[in-house]
Amino acid sequence: MTLFGTSGIRGPVGETVTAALALSLGRALGVDSQRVVVGRDPRASGEYLQSALVAGLRESGTDVIDAGVAATPTVARAVGWRGADAGVSVTASHNPPADNGRKLWQPSGQAFDSGQQDRIEERIDENAFEPAAWDAVGGVESFDARPRHAETIRAELDRETLSSRVVVDVGNGAGGVTLDVLNSMGAHVETLNAQPDGAFPGRPSEPKAENCTSLSTLVAESDAQLGIAHDGDADRMRAVAGDGTYLSGDELLAIFARAAAESGERVAVPVDTSLAVADYLAEIDVGVEYTPVGDVYVAEAASEDGVAFGGEPSGAWIWPDTTLCPDGPLAACRIAALDVDRPLAERLADVPTYPIRRDSVEVESKAAVMERVRERVLSAFDDVTTLDGVRADLGDAWFLLRASGTQPLVRVTAEAREADRADEVLSTARELLADARK
């Protein structure tokens, strides 16, 4: 059984994600955990899935700290605050309301790594669990971690006020802590979709450009200086400049990274990140360290010495000097602070933009095709990374061939500083894939 993807366990409720699986997960996690923090996003299925998870933990003799409906970064941070051994967020993050899942957290705030995930899967597969004695079952304690999260973010910002006019699209999710911090620091805040509702009636949960048109329009047509958008569990954050421009993930990554890193340091980014980020950071002698796609891998790299920041263009941002979890509310308040110091639209004008080409090709036997692709690319190019798929750096361009984690597809991405070159490199990548499919 393979339960964990690039960001925990996630899938359709009643199919991939069931109460039976939640019970088994609780039992498996309880084997070596004395205390676990548990919270959830507002999805309708979250309440009973959390109840099943808690039952499994308590049956193992594990005490539970119940954070209720809470942002995923609130749960992740609470593990360390309460001296717990692990944390679990019952969430499908930015997925549609019919999905749910779980994200597991270490005391450092970092997600469970691959070794920890494998141990949990093995225990579930083998039903490797012993119930506690009838008089040794775990207890339950309620803990509203939201005020502690807000206080922590205020301290991490290291400033007294934020004189911003901000529109925050909470996306009907659990990201209200962003409002708590901004309001408490004197910002003028207007909200969209602020009522938690796991059906996400205001907009789809993922805060991508096409789902944030109302936010962009409101910012552009009002006196707001900034727009913020979260997903359902608020681990992601995306931004809109004061003129209504929605920033791409690569643009926002470049701005955050340049503000966080100093000369000689590095930032951790996934292999599908734009070349523009590396070029922009090279201007201040900051290097880029590539990771597999997934915030758990970015967090692992961000924990290394000399890495000042980690980010994914999807909207996950990690400041390792504060926490190793992607913290959407922290990111929202940091971008508000940056905008006060210099408007986001001005910062954006400094970030280069390059033509990027994407394609998806349906294949049979993904693993076999990707192995042949790997051999061909390694033999044909000098600078090749195989961390996640196969990425070839051509100096003025790059391409990535990467198997989809959920579909019978190979994703093809190519980018260059010039449009014609991007088309040429995409064609090269397609030819390599076509040859490997023969």
pTM of the model: 0.93
Distance from C-alpha of 337 to C-alpha of 180, rounded to nearest angstrom:
15
**Nearest residue to 249 via CA among 303, 209, 307:** 209
Rounded Cα–Cα distance for residues 125 and 244 (Å):
50
Distance CA 437, CA 11 (A): 29
Query: pLDDT tens digits, residue range 48-81?
Result: 999 999 999 999 999 999 999 999 999 999 999 9
Interatomic CA distance for residues 380 and 372, integer angstroms: 12
pLDDT at 365: 87
The hierarchical CATH code for the domain 147-350 is 3.40.120.10
Residues 111, 103 contacting (CB under 8 angstroms)? yes
The domain at 9-144 falls in which architecture? 3-Layer(aba) Sandwich (3.40)
pLDDT, mean over the chain: 95
Residue 90 pLDDT > 60, yes or no? yes
- State the pLDDT at residue 422: 97
- Residue 308: pLDDT band (50, 70, 90) is very high
Contact 104, 29 (CB under 8 A): yes
Q: Which CATH number fits domain 356-436: 3.40.640.10, 3.30.310.50, 3.50.50.60, 3.90.1150.10?
A: 3.30.310.50
Closest CA to 109 of 260, 239, 298: 298
Longest C-alpha distance within the chain, in Å?
Answer: 71
d(CA 323, CA 307): 13
* Paired tokens of 372: 């042949």
pLDDT at 46 over 70: yes
Domain with CATH 3.40.120.10 in the chain: 9-144, 147-350
SS3 labels along the chain? CCCCECCEEEEEECCCECHHHHHHHHHHHHCCCCEEEEEECCCCCHHHHHHHHHHHHHHCCCEEEEEEECCHHHHHHHHHHCCCCEEEEECCCCCCCCEEEEEEECCCCCECCHHHHHHHHHHHHHCCCCCCCCCCCCCEEECCCHHHHHHHHHHHHCCCCCCCEEEEECCCCCCCHHHHHHHHCCCEEEEECCCCCCCCCCCCCCCCHHHCHHHHHHHHHCCCCEEEEECCCCCCEEEEECCCCECCHHHHHHHHHHHHCCCCCEEEEECCCCHHHHHHHHCCCCEEEEECCCHHHHHHHHCCCCEEEEEECCCEEECCCCCCCCCHHHHHHHHHHHHHHCCHHHHHHHCCCCCEEEEEEECCCHHHHHHHHHHHHHHHCCCEECCCCEEEECCCEEEEEEECCCCCEEEEEEEECCHHHHHHHHHHHHHHHHHHCC
The per-residue pLDDT for 216 is 98
The CA-to-CA distance between both ends of the chain, in Å, stands at: 30
pLDDT, residue 5, reads 67
Q: Output the CA–CA distances (angstroms, integers) from residue 315 to 231, 289, 294, in the order listed.
A: 9, 18, 11
Query: Can 93 be counted among the known catalytic residues?
Result: yes
Strand partners, 229: 169, 238
Question: pLDDT per residue over 372-428, tens digit each?
Answer: 999 999 999 999 999 999 999 999 999 999 998 767 899 999 999 999 999 999 999
Q: Given the residues 89, 93, 216, 248, select the one marked as catalytic.
A: 93
Radius of gyration of the chain (CA): 22
Which pLDDT does position 10 carry in this prediction?
Answer: 83
pLDDT at residue 16 in the model:
87
pLDDT at position 1 over 80 = no
- For the cut 60, the answer to whether the pLDDT of residue 228 exceeds it is yes
Tell me the pLDDT tens digit for each residue of 345-379.
Answer: 999 999 999 999 999 999 888 899 999 999 999 99
CATH 3.30.310.50 in the chain, residue ranges = 356-436
- Phi/psi for 387 (5° steps) reads -60, -40
